[in-house]
Amino acid sequence: MRFSFFKTIALLWVGGVALAAEDRFLRDVQPLLKQHCYDCHRGAKAKGGVNLAAFTNTASLYANPKLWETSIRQIEDRQMPPKDEEQPAEAVRLKLAETLTELLDNPAPEFVVRDPGAKLIHRLNRTEYNHTIRDLLGVDLRPADRFPADGGGGGGFDNNADTLFVPPILMEKYLAAADEVLAAARPEYLVLTHPVWFRRERVVAADNVEWFARRAFRRPVEAEEVNRLLGLYDATRAQGHPFAVALKSAYKAVLVSPSFLFRSEGEQPGQQPWRLNDHELAARLSYFLWSSLPDAELFRSAERGRLHEPDELEAQVRRMLRDPKARALAENFTGQWLGTKRLHTTVSPDRRRFPQFTDGLRDAMAAEPLEFFASLLAEDASLLRLLDADYTFANAELGRLYGLTNLVGTNLVRVVLPNRQRGGIVGMAAVLTQSSYPLRTSPVLRGRWILEEVLGTPPPPPPPLVATLPADDKVKEGLTFRQRLEKHRQDKNCAACHDRLDPMGFALENFDAIGRWRTEVDGQPVEARGVLTNGEEVNGPVELKAALLKRKQLFLRHLTEKMLAYALGRGLEHYDVMAVKEIAERVAQSDYRATALVLEVARSYPFQWRRGEQAPLAGVAN
């Protein structure tokens, strides 16, 4: 999605007055299009059928936002203008992409089309499968750990429906997993009622099959569905197998049914969006907060038709967040949003250079942000603690890295920090390590990480054939690493991006490549000073965090985007802009409380509604 690129400001303010969006297009976009684009993209013979001259004001942008999203990507990637044409200065290129993004991200109300998004047929990912089996059968075998890896799609999460494919081998895995978990399940989880002398055995079997399928399918089941499943029971019983074995044959069919393996929602004819029924809403809510199926209380609320009521929805969300299963939200959302899951995959500091980086330390690093986010939910604390806090979570090994010598054991506990150098996500070792190279820190990677994952304003990729920097940070040819980077930045094609990236990365130079505090690099004092593009000077992590807090609205908007994408199981699109803005505004009004973010996502239009079967083209103003 192009939706979150370059959101350096939500609106452009001059003298306290917001400039009209149409004025910005005419003033800042159209002249550049005339200079660099109209020769090829104008009139009936426009290349690729793209006639940019047809767009005469901001209103016309919203007739084809996808075209402009593609255009922004091509501008940033330097695909347009073509290499053999006159090229704009790099700063001009970035400004054009930024302006177009701001216009698309901040449409005036009259241009907004309310579109809750496409129907999703959502395969349970590996985490969801394991948790669902655990809560359905009372076993914790984690069979999905042996399934093929899940993809990662829009929004950066592995629950994105568009990337949850079904490779052929997966069906074999499902069959084997069903046998394994049914064999391990305790009898009390498998049988609702047992046959007794005054009830026919098949009637009892029907009751059990209906009960099991309703829980597994996360909705009421039709009589026809129950009868099909009972056919397997009958066939197995006719072969002489006992009641429990025959019942398991029907249960196995449930566990390999698309109604179990996929979360799907019903159909309604016509173009109008429609509201999810309460069982569909319950499933969305439980997989958002628990990565698992609805429990009995949530199911009862749906059965009574009350879940859509605002007070009942809030009560259920707050109850679910108090449940230990809500840890799934902290684990699955935080590790993917911050990228710290990479510590167990692609991030690998050089262990000869950093022998302190053990498997135990890596695990503690990865757990720290998860425990921190879980504490925000448990305490209903301010989300701004993610930017700056006076505490964190550490065990003995991570504590030693942080200079905290009074910790023992392997379990992470809450600790008060002695100063403000480290509190918040930018001072966490997991973040600092995964934004470094194996042998050295990288102000560029760290600056990019802050722009992308904290502020939601990632820079474009570097120009082709850009010069690379050395793999380590030792002094070479009399130049420190920072001096070599400053020399690299003198290239005008590199300067525009580095002016945004480097100052934030330099402010974290007191942290080495595994997150230890340092005052020297190869015998030279650490230089942690940088000047942001607005002229603000930051020197070290404390001042950097203060600068980020000044941008708290930008941070909140990006965090809202990520949380909404995770909750929906899809990447966000241009038509989600207004929902994001509304959620963020309400969270800010609630003093940035963590539960307010979860609640507002659950209350939001795209979470509770779905596009009709024959929806109009999204983004076209009525």
Residue 14 bridge partners (DSSP) = 17
Write down the number of H helices and E strands in the chain: 28, 12
Distance CA(579)–CA(607), nearest Å, equals 10
Q: Give the whole-angstrom CA distance, residue 121 versus residue 527.
A: 51
pLDDT of residue 488: 63
User: For residue 470, what pLDDT is reported?
Assistant: 66
Tokens found for residue 210: 């209906």
Low-confidence ranges of the chain (pLDDT < 50): 1-22, 615-622
Could you read off the pLDDT of 337-380 as tens digits, one per residue? Answer: 999 989 998 899 999 999 999 999 999 999 999 999 999 999 99
Which pLDDT value is given to residue 616?
41
What pLDDT score does 464 carry? 64
Which pLDDT value is given to residue 622?
Answer: 27
- Please provide the size of the chain in residues: 622
Q: What is the pLDDT of residues 454-471, one digit of tens each?
A: 998 888 777 665 666 667
Q: Residue type for 501, please?
A: L
DSSP string, 273-330: -EEPPHHHHHHHHHHHHTSS---HHHHHHHHTT-TTSHHHHHHHHHHHHHSGGGHHHI
The whole-number pLDDT of residue 7 equals: 38
Neighbouring C-beta atoms of residue 580, cutoff 10 Å: 24
What's the pTM value of the predicted model, to 2 decimals? 0.86
Ramachandran region, residue 16 (left: φ > 0; alpha: ψ -120 to 50; beta: rest): left
What pLDDT was estimated at residue 277?
96
Q: How many CA atoms lie within 13 A of 107 on its CB side?
A: 24
The rounded distance, in Å, linking the Cα atoms of 90 and 75 is 10
pLDDT of residue 601: 98
What would you report as the CA-atom Rg of the chain, rounded to the nearest whole angstrom? 27
Q: Cα separation of 296 and 300, whole Å?
A: 6
